[in-house]
Structure 1
Amino acid sequence: MPGPGRGNSPVVFWGLNVCVHPDRCSPQITHGQFDERYVLSSRVRTGRSIRGLSLPPACTRAERREVENVVVTALSGLRGDLSGKYYSLTSMTEREQQQLIDDHFLFDKPVSPLLTCAGMARDWPDARGIWHNNEKTFLIWINEEDHTRVISMEKGGNMKRVFERFCRGLKEERGWEFMWNERLGYVLTCPSNLGTGLRAGVHVRLPRLSKDPRFSKILENLRLQKRGTGGVDTAAVADVYDISNLDRIGRSEFLLVVDLLQWKYSLEEKLLTCLKCLINAPVMAVKIPNSGQAPKSRANEEGDKELSNPRAHGSL
């Protein structure tokens, strides 16, 4: 009997069905460099589920091990800057695991009730692991929230290079079919990831903007979302946030990355204007003297000094 994804199924690419998205993951970005005074790291990730095997909440131990075997075998054929090695959680020491987690390379054991009640931690850490290339810029998480989590990442703000690597990794032909639906797109464990499953994000330092009460609404209007430094259900450390696209379905991978880049231009280029508006806002409540000259508050004076010094804006 043929294995999952074989038989009469069409040959597909590692994670990308070219019959559906022929050019959607083509790295045609022309302006993909973030200002590294603010952006600490950039990443693009998605998930893929192997057709014929249950999703993690219903996955048996045997199916989970089959996922591990299928994925590791497929990845062993990658060459060049994508070639790498698989590391099973069962063979790692706790210290090695924690170091990878602290460096934002590896996932941790689920502790959220939402995940544990869904069976995500069942048989932990059996058949879980991470595959990464030698530079740790292209990674595959195996049997975390999804069968696979595909990640391209690096320090700094070169989103163009990160996305190009991401697309190349997805296009490596392996002959296995992934769960895909004509109406829903790629099928993943969390409904919020239906469609592309893609999340393009940056770790960015926002000490000023993050303290504004409108911060969440600003991001929502830009179709972006924020997470803590360590991801979902974590706090922001030293004002560093994980900012990424909010939408997953109904748009292509390329357009979702462009959305994030548009945020760079719409937010960074208007930052000084926005700050000046915030600083000048209290003046509206001050009674204007008969001379017609509005008194300058201390906030105004300090704000003008800061705005006149470009070096003062090393962080957003």
Structure 2
Amino acid sequence: MIRDLDTVISSRIRFARNLKDYPYTSRLDENGAKEIIDRVSKALGNEYEARNFEKLSHNERMSLVEKHDVSLDFVRSVLPRELFVKDDTKIMVCEEDHIRLQVIKNGSSLEECYNEAVCTDKLLNEKLNIDYNDTLGYLTHCPTNLGTAMRASVMMFLPGISITAKLKSIALQLDKLGLTIRGMYGEGSEPGAYIYQISNRETLGISEEKVISKINDIVTQITEIERKTRDELKKRNGISLEDKISRAEGTLKYAKMISSKEFSELYALIRMGGDHDISRLDSLFCEVMPYSLCVNYNKSLNESERDIYRAEYIQKAFG
């Protein structure tokens, strides 16, 4: 059973790893990158699918960014790189670090993500010469990742907290606990549709288990605040809020053009209403993003065309 899906969209565990015998990617040449890809491929074996990233179109690559399967830095890299996939596990080879291993699952599921990530990480550690120091832990391109080199994060949907201006005080409390709150695409991104990413800042001198426990505790507290705040908003605004949600549903079902910005606003209202399949709604959120929409229709679309196709796609999804 997926836990706390009304407030937690997804959970992610990410490990950064580097091979001892090669410089970091900032000083890595093309041959070195190809060798690393080959070594990782052999270590993973046939259970992991290589996506042939170099052969993907620009739209296909950016669609993977929209779905959080790869980072924008990975797409922009000039080095040879590869993406390996097995179910919820995605492995970027030659991103900022030689290996970025991540597992993403729906709802509040950090432990499940961690357990799956550890299985793949053990495989890589057994078969590759991973750069590790007894004092500093895993060595990484960026010093802020030293130690466990693990980022644990949850994507939260917080309309109640956002509307009632409680976010600033929560952000201050998170900062004191060594946690960070950002937009849905991490550092530098703006929040949209009331979606925020909460993650650990500390990786040195703290175990993976303690980080996960700390984030889980915070998520539980924020979920309680968010649910209480939503109930208060519904009591206070009653018919007015119901009217906004109903109008949002009507727009999605009958509009002939819907922009990305408008869909984000409508999605937030409908998700807050809680009358639809939340998992399907979250999937739809990614499917109608600009590049993903182009991939789904197998054609390049300008902004106006995307708005038309987005409305069509949404109406099919809503039956």
TM-score, normalization by structure 1: 0.67
Q: Please, which of 199, 206, 214 is the counterpart of residue 151 of structure 2?
A: 199
Q: Sort the Cα spacing of 1:265 and 1:107 in 2 relative to 1 into closer, same or farther, 3 A.
A: closer
Residue 253, structure 1, aligned to residue 208, structure 2: yes
Question: Larger deviation: 197-206 or 32-41?
Answer: 32-41
Displacement of 1:241 in angstroms is: 0.9
Q: Which residue of 2 aligns with 1:129?
A: 82
Residue 49, structure 1, aligned to residue 18, structure 2: yes
Q: Please, which of 93, 96, 99 is the counterpart of residue 57 of structure 2?
A: 93
Partner SS for 2:108: coil
CA distance in 2, matches of 1:191, 1:152: 22
CA-to-partner distance for each residue in 1:270-300, whole Å, 9 max, x for gaps? 5577x59xx9xxxxxxxxxxxxxxxxxxx9x
The 5-angstrom pairing of residues 61-80 of structure 1 reads 61-76=30-45
CA-to-partner distance for each residue in 1:4-61, whole Å, 9 max, x for gaps? xxxxxxxxxxxxxxxxxxxxxxxxxxxx974110111111011100001001122122
Residues 42 and 155 in structure 1, CA contact (< 8 A), matched pair in contact too:
yes
Residues 46 and 198 in structure 1, CA contact (< 8 A), matched pair in contact too:
yes
Residue type matched to 2:59 in 1?
Answer: R
RMSD: 3.1
CA distance in 2, matches of 1:84, 1:93: 21
Q: Please, which of 177, 193, 213 is the counterpart of residue 222 of structure 1?
A: 177
The 5-angstrom pairing of residues 109-258 of structure 1 reads 109=73, 121=77, 124=78, 126-133=79-86, 135=87, 137-172=88-123, 174-210=126-162, 211-212=165-166, 213-258=168-213
CA-to-partner distance for each residue in 1:115-152, whole Å, 9 max, x for gaps? xxxxx84xx1x42121011x3x0110111111000101
Residue type matched to 2:150 in 1?
Answer: L
TM-score, normalization by structure 2: 0.66
Q: Which residue of 2 aligns with 1:24?
A: none
CA distance in 2, matches of 1:269, 1:236: 21
Displacement of 1:304 in angstroms is: 12
CA distance in 2, matches of 1:264, 1:44: 15
Displacement of 1:232 in angstroms is: 1.9
Residue type matched to 2:157 in 1?
Answer: R
Displacement of 1:156 in angstroms is: 2.4
Residues 67 and 147 in structure 1, CA contact (< 8 A), matched pair in contact too:
yes
The 5-angstrom pairing of residues 281-292 of structure 1 reads none
Displacement of 1:264 in angstroms is: 2.2
Residue 302, structure 1, aligned to residue 236, structure 2: yes
CA distance in 1, matches of 2:74, 2:117: 26
Greater fraction of residues in helix = 2
Q: Which residue of 2 aligns with 1:115?
A: none
Displacement of 1:103 in angstroms is: 1.3
Residues 156 and 196 in structure 2, CA contact (< 8 A), matched pair in contact too:
yes
Partner SS for 2:159: coil
Residues 33 and 160 in structure 1, CA contact (< 8 A), matched pair in contact too:
no
CA-to-partner distance for each residue in 1:79-132, whole Å, 9 max, x for gaps? xxxx22112321111222122222111222479xxxxxxxx84xx1x4212101
CA distance in 2, matches of 1:108, 1:88: 17
Q: Percent identity?
A: 24
Residue type matched to 2:94 in 1?
Answer: N
Q: Sort the Cα spacing of 1:209 and 1:222 in 2 relative to 1 into closer, same or farther, 3 A.
A: farther
CA distance in 2, matches of 1:43, 1:55: 24
Q: Which residue of 2 aligns with 1:290?
A: none
Residues 5 and 106 in structure 2, CA contact (< 8 A), matched pair in contact too:
no
Residues 50 and 179 in structure 1, CA contact (< 8 A), matched pair in contact too:
yes
Unaligned runs of 5+ in 2: 240-271, 279-319
Q: Which residue of 2 aligns with 1:282?
A: none
CA distance in 1, matches of 2:185, 2:133: 31
**Higher normalized contact order (CA 8 Å, seq sep 6+, divided by chain length):** 1
